[in-house]
A and B are shown apart, each in its own frame.
Chain A
Amino acid sequence: MLFFSFFKSLVGKDVVVELKNDLSICGTLHSVDQYLNMKLTDITVSDTDRFPHMISVKNCFIRGSVVRFVSFFEWLWVLLTKFGQG
């Protein structure tokens, strides 16, 4: 379980999780289990026009199988929020 080992090392760090439905969520990776289900805290979403309901949510549980990728470069998040709206 290469990915599981890798994600374990990201616990406590800020990550961007992109889901297969194109929703990107930035937050602190609180915990991860062997199915790569993830709990994120202090989340923000980039595309609030398309996902307005997510503004009010602070913590969430994400099903592992819906994740497209996880990025841990914070600068990428800055790019997404700046240019991702267009």
Chain B
Amino acid sequence: MILQEVAQPSEGIKLVVNNVQAFYKHDSLGNGVLYITDRAVIWITTGSKGFSVSYPAIVLHAISTDVSSFPYEHVFVMVDKRKSGLELAAAELEDEESDDDEEGPGLEIRLVPDDKDALSSIYHEISVGQEENPEEDDPMFDDEEEEEMEEEEGMNGDGQMPSGQWFTAENNLCAILTEF
């Protein structure tokens, strides 16, 4: 992956983690500082080089603790290449083209913090960032529809949940009973 000139973020910073090694697939990109902001996940190594991935470009993220397939515990981030603006080096592009699918399945970035305790906070802050950055022009989440729902169900109807509120098995039963 070709590292780009990235400015150090100054606002909206949720989390800063020093000594984070980033990998593209299995190749180390070096040691750097990870910034999780309200807009993007940014990693910067020496000489202001690094990458910045905005939330809409992040397909999924996860914590991997299985060291049999990768030598370090890490936060795995799958990135949509078209949305991210990240560029691959020529040799890496050839690898990608040998793939059946022209688009490629997505870029795989692994973040390995020196401090293992940071894994869960990195995962958590990326989750929060995802919740706070939904698609801007998705007709499915049109405001008009939201308003109609509010009228139908009343402002405090259970169809309307504030951002960041998750529906889990624990709080599931009551809502289902009221709905059906």
In the complex, chain B residues 125-156 whose Cβ is within 8 Å of any chain A Cβ: 126-127, 130-131, 134-135, 138, 140-141, 145-146, 149
A33 touches B68 (CB 8 A): no
Q: A37 — which chain B residues lie within 8 A by C-beta?
A: 127, 130-131
Residues in A lying within 8 Å of B, measured CB to CB: 1, 3-5, 7-9, 11-12, 19, 21-23, 30-35, 37, 39, 50-53, 55-66
Q: Which residue of A lies closest to B164 (CB)?
A: A33
Contact call A61/B167, Cβ cutoff below 8 A: no
Once A and B bind, how many residue pairs between them come within 8 Å at the CB atom?
119
Interchain nearest-CB distance for B126 vs A (Å) = 7
Instruction: Classify the interface of chain A: helix, strand, loop or mixed.
Output: mixed
What residues of chain A lie closer than 8 Å to B145, measured between beta carbons?
Answer: 1
Rounded to whole Å, the gap between the CB of B74 and the closest CB of chain A is 9
User: How many residues from B make CB contacts under 8 Å with A?
Assistant: 51
**Cα–Cα distance between A66 and B167 once the two chains are bound (Å):** 19
Question: Which residues from chain A contact B138 at a C-beta distance below 8 Å?
Answer: 65
Q: Are A35 and B131 in contact (CB under 8 A)?
A: yes
Apart from the given pairs A53-B108, A65-B134, 18 other A-B contacts in the complex at a CB distance below 8 Å: A1-B145, A1-B149, A7-B167, A8-B175, A8-B176, A19-B59, A22-B105, A23-B105, A32-B166, A33-B167, A35-B134, A37-B127, A56-B64, A56-B70, A56-B76, A58-B62, A63-B55, A63-B60
Chain A: which residue is nearest B59 at the CB level?
Answer: A66
| Residues of chain B in range 17-34 having any CB-CB distance to chain A below 8 Å | 25
> Is the CB–CB distance between A65 and B60 below 8 Å?
no
Select B167's contact among A11, A22, A57, A58, beta carbons within 8 Å: A11
B10 proximal to A (CB < 8 A): no
Q: Which of A3, A8, A21, A61 sits near B127, CB closer than 8 Å? A: A61
When chains A and B are docked, how far (Å) is the Cα of A62 from the Cα of B166? Answer: 13
- Distance (Å) between the CB of A77 and the closest chain B CB? 18
